[in-house]
Structure 1
Amino acid sequence: MGISGLWSVASVRWAVAALCLFLAGLAAQLLDAPSALWWTLYITCYVTGGWAPAWEGIQALRSRTLDVDLLMVVAAIGAASIGQVFDGALLIVIFATSGALEDTATKRTEDSVTGLLDLAPNAATRIDADGTEESVHPRDLRIGDHVVIRPGERVSADGVVMGGRSDVDQSSVTGEPLPVNKHPDDTVFAGTQNGGGVLRIRVTQNPSDTVVARIVALVAEASATKAETQLFIEKVEQRYSVGVVVATLALFTIPLAFGADLQGALLRAMTFMIVASPCAVVLATMPPLLSAIANAGRHGVLVKSAVAMEHLADATVVAIDKTGTLTTGTPRLTSVVPLLHGQMDADDVLRIAASAEQFSEHPLGRAVVDHARQRGIDIPESTEFHAQPGRGVRARLAGQIIEIVSPRCLGGNSLPGVIDVQDAGSTAVVVVVDEVPVGILGLTDTVRAGTKDVVRTITALTSASPVLLTGDNDCAAQRLATDVGISDVRADLLPEDKVAVVRRLQADGHRVLFVGDGINDAPAIAAAHASIAMGLSGADLTLDTADAVTVRDELATIPAVVALARRARRVVIANLAIAATFITALVAWDLFGHLPLPLGVAGHEGSTIIVALNGLRLLRARAWTGVAPTSS
């Protein structure tokens, strides 16, 4: 009904006040109190429940648009003018109640945004250059500032740990169920809860760019948009409302011209104006979509607009990036190939490699050290560690020079075993001792937990297997696809190639939902009918371009949000059918029979309440949990 301006949260209070005044007037009327008393109570009910929509309607008239709110107020005043003050008051009460329900749906959506804002603390302890502490508001922090986070406090900014150790509960941002141990050089997020230690962090993001702030901005932007269906309805509403006014005037003047009595003609005209007004139609679209957006936001998926929610519902095929999307982007060691048989076995090669990599910050180096520790291998301490960008690492162990390098540094893939490792879908690195290759390590990206179940759910939901689009080599892509159950693989793709595949699929009649994380995915995300970005690992450009963002990088949320979007679309269709049925039936009754005004009011506003409540159903947790796949 468009009463989101002046009514706001107070609409509930006005609706309750109008109801109380209506019931008091009804009681006074039934108890044969002086008519002046119950008339006064009813008129006060008019003012209490009708002033806001009347003001909205007047403001709309100034913009040369006709608001359905104004039609309801005019109809109520018309009823009172012919002595039907009870019927008009009933209309105002039900009208105010339906408006409050609409506002409740909007308020619940806004609460999902302000709830995220509540994660941020109200104060931060900044450490100045001379070591003094100063309490400031988090919004006053700047990149490079040093902040101390004491036990039990919320982290006040996105940053990097400079000193101290502590367990930090990141569930509010990342969804991780257990606190994460934070050491120097680890990343922390604003709004997360510090444990028992003290942390000193260096701010790396301005307050407006923190993870929480970006989440808030995305959800707020979603609430401000309108779905295509809603825009169409609003366009039709203007012409329809004018038609209702013209028909009402005709229904009033024509019978008068043929001798009908004034009260009877006005009563029928007012009844027609009420039952023909498209209040329920207007409420049919946005409450379900906004409720779905709020529900998705509570479960870690930020849908940026009602239009985006409609597009997600339309998806017929899902195209998915590999690295960082189906995989975590964190490598693990999968094979060790000794080259000096009889002199070194796999454990010897791994021990040497882990010794050289133990001081490395590169993901491949950490994967080697982690695997050696998991195998229980004693890692001797190396010296003279040196990282060689674009090449690998170099260190000294027991007087020997150890290098972990790319095969390209040793003449390409001609080294025995390199091709086999790469054909298995792994990244190959070579272990070199005093310039002699002694082994090959194969490292593979880690597949996200539950990926196979998610692929199966997507296939069932869209009746089409997902399409894997990746810039990685074909062997690695095919191996991953086989492991997770994807049959359609497009590998060795440049960003423009991904766009071409998306456009080709859409030219074939598909509506493509693209899921990715990297900057190289942004063009395909922009070209797709709908898109979802991985929030934790996603590049800024990708997050800005995508229609929706998964805050916790959980693949299971992808089919869940698509199913939720489809459920929202079904509710919209059902709402439109309900509204059209009521309007048609009530208008026909009034034109070809005798529809009592109270019954017309009850039928019209009752359909509006039914439609509003039907949309609010999508706020329930069951609307999400009922569609989410089971992860392994």
Structure 2
Amino acid sequence: MKRFSFDLPTCLSLVTVLGLLLAATGIWGPAGGHALLKWSGVTLVFLAGGVPTAWSALSSLYRQRILDIDLLMITAAVAAAVVGAAFEGAVLLTLFSVSTTLEHRALGRARRAVEALMALRPETASRKGADGAVVEIPASELVVGDVVILRPGARVPADGVIAHGRGGVDEANITGESMPVSKEPGQQVFEATINLDGVLEVVVSRTVADSTIARMIRLVTEAQEARAPSERFSAWFGQRYTVAVIVGAALAFIIFFLLGRDWEQALYRAATLLVTASPCAIVISAPAAILSALSAAARGGVLFKGGGAIETLAAVKTFAFDKTGTLTTGRATVNQIVASDGDEDGFLSLLAGVEAHSEHHIAAAILRETAARGLTGVAVTDVSAHPSAGILGRDSLGQVWAGNARMVSAMGATIDNPALTQLEEEARTVVYLGRGPKVLGAVTVADEARATSAPALQALRDSGVRKIVMLTGDRRPVALRIGGELGIAPEDIRAGMLPKDKVDAIGELARDGTVAFVGDGVNDAAALARADVGIAMGAAGSDVALQAADVALLSENMRKLAEAHHLARRTVSIIRQNFIFAIGAMLVLVTGGLFFNLPLPLAVIGHEGGTVLVVLNGLRLLSDRIRTPDPR
């Protein structure tokens, strides 16, 4: 059971409750009550609930020139005391103090997502020295290049790359995925994930200060501080409306007095109006929902860069997707090798030497095939990349290049080998290798659609998304094969695109409404930035993805995208519910205060109760399904 913490606001609220009970006993206690008890209780409430509220209100007024809601409450309480309704003023201050404390504690549940992330971080690490000795040190002392030993059950102390060993790693803390991920040498592991079996040697690639967890903490913190449009509106409205309420209450006092009420009755009605017209519930409507959604998403492996990204994603009706590494696994395999001179091993070694300088998924497939054959890549220097075309470099014999048909054309080469020409007809990616204007051969590489892509796209369609488009630099036959498996219409598939073409395509789609682009965050940074909402897929450990995107899916599970879209739409719906309820409740209370002699205690209960209900409605998002691990 969680221990209840007694901070200063909580203690003051408890004192106001005690004071109110004391005052009530003095009024309605045995033998007709006791005046000393009544006034002792009322004084206690005004000291514990009124003085801190007044100090906060006057500080805001003096330092920031802001008239906040605290000023309305303290003014109403003082007015009640002046007209002889001190007990009603005590009721107001008590309920305001208690409701404010409940709001802070409730919203604190949302903010504790950051604390939960920090609690996952291991404090120590087993570092392996140059002499092979393993020493236990604080994780904060690890530096890039250190080798740490991970035994079964150990948490990863810092981001790194596996040097030796194989095993399953539980990444649920980072990605929200319930199933362990098999890891082997050369693959990344992230801080705070758990090594389930086997002994792993990991080379630290990021210090604790720059790790994935550290960046998640920074992003969640920044996101909770960044205001969404609805939050900015409620704050703007609250400031100006507070002034209007004070002016309105003053006018109401004058009007009631002129209509024949004595000054005490007129002031009492004006105090009631101050309470009923206070916009507490309206101001808290958006933050309660936004903070809860941000926290739920973070625990589910999705990072929103602020409430604005949530509200924009909810409005998206067109999704554009990169293909490789986004809709597909990105773990391609080499299917066929055609070497013009018949020497497949020599051809593959030279191709691997060129592709070793690329971080593309296709390059990784070629390097894996080379390693599987026991070959090593040829040394290639002076390498330069040609985006969406290929790579150019030099070996001991001169200039050498590798790439797609666009690269072939750029190098002035021609494909006159029938075996190579036939490869173009297959629904696979073709990578050519050449020297100057001569093509030395080619390989075909195939990538498969993610198992989660088809159900995720269907979930988006079911939620009302009108258009799903694939934008890829690959050849059209390859794009059609993957698109057909995922149910994407041929007319919505655009192939052979350069990075600039993707940006232009998103601009064209944006003319019909809000557009989201989903990419791997490395090759698609410009498109991510151009879209109304940029969504980086599998962004854990990727600096480019976290910087360029508005939303980062830390896992490679496409279902998380559909869940993030569902959460965004649900958040906007709850904000709308809160606004409607808050405004409706305020209108009812104001009407009662103006025309039906609504008692001040009842006005206080209606006002504070409505505020708490709005907060609780927003907190429902903390249990959204995005936090539920996928039982695949």
Shift in Å, 1:165: 5.4
**Offset of 1:21 from its aligned partner?**
3.8
1:447 aligns to what SS in structure 2? coil
Match of 2:497 in 1: 493
What residue is the counterpart of 1:23 in the other structure?
Answer: 21
> 1:589: which partner in 2?
592
> Is 2:617 the partner of 1:620?
no
For 1:110, the equivalent position in structure 2 comes to 111
Which residue of 2 is the match for residue 503 of structure 1? 507
Q: Secondary structure at the match of 1:243?
A: helix
Counterparts of 1:250-261 in structure 2, within 5 Å, are 250-256=251-257, 260-261=261-262
Report if the CA contact (8 A) 2:67-2:242 is conserved. Answer: yes
- Structure 2: distance between partners of 1:93 and 1:593: 24
**C-alpha displacement of 1:302:** 0.8
Counterpart of 1:36 in structure 2 is 36
Q: Which amino acid aligns with 1:23?
A: L
Matched, 1:427 2:429: yes
**Counterpart selection for 2:452 from 450, 454, 469:** 450
Displacement of 1:64 after TM fit? Answer: 0.8
Q: Which residue of 1 aligns with 2:484?
A: 482
Structure 1 CA distance for aligned equivalents of residues 146 and 470 of structure 2: 42
Tell me which residue corresponds to 1:172.
173
Amino acid across the alignment from 2:623: R
Equivalent residue runs for 1:258-269 within 5 Å: 260-269=261-270
* Alpha-carbon spacing, 1:438–1:592, altered in 2? closer, same or farther (3 Å): closer
* Counterpart Cα distance in 2 of 1:287 and 1:588: 27
For the residues of structure 2 that align with 1:624 and 1:155, how far apart are their CA atoms? 22
Which TM-score applies when normalising by structure 2?
Answer: 0.82
Aligned pairs (5 A) from 1:142-541: 142-163=143-164, 167-180=168-181, 182-195=183-196, 197-256=198-257, 260-333=261-334, 363-365=364-366, 385-387=376-378, 413-428=415-430, 442-487=444-489, 488-506=492-510, 508-536=511-539, 539-541=542-544
Question: Once the 2 structures are TM-superposed, how far is the Cα of residue 83 of structure 1 from its aligned partner?
Answer: 2.9
- How much has 1:562 moved relative to structure 2? 1.5
| Count of residue pairs the alignment pairs up | 587
**Residues 292 and 180 from structure 1, CA distance in 2 versus in 1: closer, same or farther, beyond 3 angstroms?**
closer
In structure 1, what is the Cα distance between the partners aligned to 2:625 and 2:403?
51
Q: List per-residue Cα deviations over 1:299-358 (Å, max 9, x = no partner).
A: 111111011111111112111111111112101355789999xxx9xxxx99x999x99x
**CA distance in 1 between partners of 2:217 and 2:543 (Å):** 15
Residues 510, 624 of structure 1: alpha-carbon distance in 2 compared, 3 angstrom cutoff: farther
- Structure 1 contact 272–587 (Cα < 8 Å) conserved: yes
Q: Which amino acid in the other structure matches residue 41 of structure 2?
A: L
- Write the letter of the residue equivalent to 1:578: F
Residue of structure 1 equivalent to 2:388? none
Identify if the C-alpha distance between structure 1 residues 181 and 473 changes in structure 2 by more than 3 Å, giving closer, same or farther: closer
Rounded Cα–Cα distance in structure 2 between residues aligned with 1:478 and 1:166: 36
User: Equivalent residue for 2:601?
Assistant: 598
Aligned residue for 1:434?
Answer: none
Distance 1:248 1:617, change over 3 A: same
Q: Does 1:47 align with 2:47?
A: yes
The change in CA–CA distance for 1:422 and 1:451 in structure 2 (over 3 A counts) is farther
Deviation at 1:205? 1.0
Q: Is the 8 A contact 2:564 2:626 kept in 1?
A: no
Structure 2: distance between partners of 1:563 and 1:12: 35
Letter in 1 for 2:581: I
Change (3 A) 1:631 1:442: farther
Deviation at 1:604, TM superposition (A): 1.5
Aligned-pair distance for 1:29? Answer: 3.0
Q: 1:49 to 1:531 in 2, by over 3 A?
A: farther
- Equivalent pair of 2:333/2:366 in contact (CA under 8 Å): no
SS in 1 for 2:153: coil
Contact 2:222 2:305 in 1 (8 A): yes
Match of 1:402 in 2: none
CA contact (8 A) 2:370 2:376 kept: no
The equivalent residue for 1:396 is none
SS in 2 for 1:615: helix
Equivalent residues of 2:74, 2:93 under 8 A apart = yes
Deviation at 1:536, TM superposition (A): 3.6
What SS class does the counterpart of residue 275 from structure 2 fall into? helix
Q: In structure 2, do the counterparts of structure 1 residues 582 and 61 end up closer, same or farther at CA, with 3 Å as the change threshold? A: same
Separation in 2, partners of 1:420, 1:17: 84
CA distance in 2 between partners of 1:499 and 1:631 (Å): 36
Amino acid at match of 2:578: N
Counterpart CA distance in 2 for 1:550 and 1:440 is 34
Counterpart residue number, 1:121: 122
- Cα deviation, residue 241, structure 1: 0.9
| Matched letter for residue 427 of structure 1 | T
Q: C-alpha separation between the residues in 2 aligned to 1:297 and 1:110?
A: 11
Identical-pair percentage: 35
Q: 1:568 to 1:429 in 2, by over 3 A?
A: closer
Map of 1:546 onto structure 2: 549
SS in 2 for 1:315: coil
Distance 1:105 1:421 in 2: 61
SS state of the match for residue 158, structure 2? coil
**Contact 1:556–1:631 at 8 Å: present in 2 too?**
no
Alpha-carbon distance between aligned partners in 1 of 2:458 and 2:275, rounded to the nearest angstrom: 50
Secondary structure class of the residue paired with 1:153: coil
Q: What's the offset of the Cα at 1:146?
A: 3.1
Deviation at 1:202, TM superposition (A): 2.3
The more displaced of 269-278 and 509-518 is 509-518
Per-residue Cα deviation, 1:89-145 (whole angstroms, up to 9, x for no partner): 222232233323332343122211121111211123444556666554323322123
How far is the alpha carbon of 1:592 from its aligned partner? Answer: 2.2
Give the conservation status (yes or no) of the 8 Å contact 1:331–1:367.
Answer: no
**SS of the residue 1:533 aligns to:** strand
Q: 1:363 to 1:217 in 2, by over 3 A?
A: same
8 A contact 1:8–1:103 mirrored in 2: no
Q: Which runs of 5+ in 1 are unaligned?
A: 1-6, 371-378, 393-404, 432-436
How far off its partner does 1:20 sit? 4.2
TM-score, structure 1 normalization: 0.82
Structure 1 residues 429 and 491, CA gap change in structure 2 (3 angstroms): closer
Equivalent-residue separation in structure 2 for 1:294 and 1:572 (angstroms):
16
Does the aligned pair in 2 maintain the 1:450–1:631 contact within 8 Å? no
Unpaired runs of 5+ residues, structure 2, are 357-362, 381-390, 394-401, 434-438
AA of the residue aligned to 2:480:
Q
Contact 1:54 1:69 in 2 (8 A): yes
Which has the higher mean CA deviation after the structures are superposed, 59-68 or 538-547? 538-547
